Amino acid sequence: MNEVYAYKLLDCEVKDVDRKARIVKGYFSAFNIKDSDGDVIRPGAFTKSIQENGPKSSRPRIKHLLNHNTWAPLGKIQDLKEDNYGLLYESKIGTHSDGENFLKMVDSGLITEHSIGYRVMKWERNEDDGDLTMYLNELKLWEGSSLTAWGANEFTPLVAAKGQSVDELERKMKLMEKFCETSDATDELIELMTLYMKQLHQHILDLKTTTEPARTTQPGNREIIETIKLFNP
């Protein structure tokens, strides 16, 4: 646990939004939920960070970003606190293009996940029912990120699709199609979303054909070329 900076992705949707005031409330993280890494964040894990660097401290430094991109701040965190569920934030979103796009995606139901950038300060390891669990007791919080549909890494755009059913993915596709047809978001956002929909469509087709025998050989050159085309239409 020596990482200076690590990410933790959780399915935490936006809780409330006031478009007129540009205020968004949601959860950056949740407590007592074992994630895919075998980690559990305990209540109180963010207390020290909030006291030292939260929005009401003498040295506020915790940021609200888009996709962990330090060049894409969404707004200023006005309130940050722990409740029974997790780490609750309230941010005033900026009037720049990223802020405008973010508010439009929130309205359309496309912001479905949040993530945190942090460093583990105190932890303990326990073995529960044969499964190794890491309990995170204190985290140094650097930032909380709202994640767009394609995730933080352009080369792993389907990270948010893992573990979701075909019905859930098709519902997301319909939301995205409607957004692209009706939204006045920036051309860049529409282009990125169109790319993601192509990839998501292929992922859905792959899930529907899981009865095919497992591949036992490495992909050939033609398949590699087709994959490159998928990422660069």
133 and 43 both lie in a single domain: yes
The range of the structural domain enclosing residue 199 comes to 159-231
- Average pLDDT of the residues of the chain: 78
142 and 198 both lie in a single domain: no
Per residue in 213-233, pLDDT (tens digit) is 444 444 444 443 343 333 344
37 and 127 both lie in a single domain: yes
What's this model's pTM, rounded to 2 decimal places?
A: 0.69
Question: What are the start-end ranges of the H helices in the chain?
Answer: 47-53, 97-107, 166-182, 187-208, 221-231
pLDDT at 125 (0 to 100): 87
* Residue at 62 is within a domain: yes
Domain count, the chain: 2
Residues 6+ apart with CB under 8 A from 208: 166
Has residue 80 got a pLDDT over 90? yes
110 and 185 both lie in a single domain: no
34 and 96 both lie in a single domain: yes
88 and 188 both lie in a single domain: no
**pLDDT (average), residues 134-160:** 70
H or E, element range at 215 = none
Q: Measure the CA–CA gap between 80 and 51, rounded to whole angstroms.
A: 10
* Residue at 154 is within a domain: no
Per residue in 169-179, pLDDT (tens digit) is 788 788 888 88
Cβ pair 196, 149 in contact under 8 A? yes
Residues 168/195/18/42 CA torsion (nearest 10 deg): 60
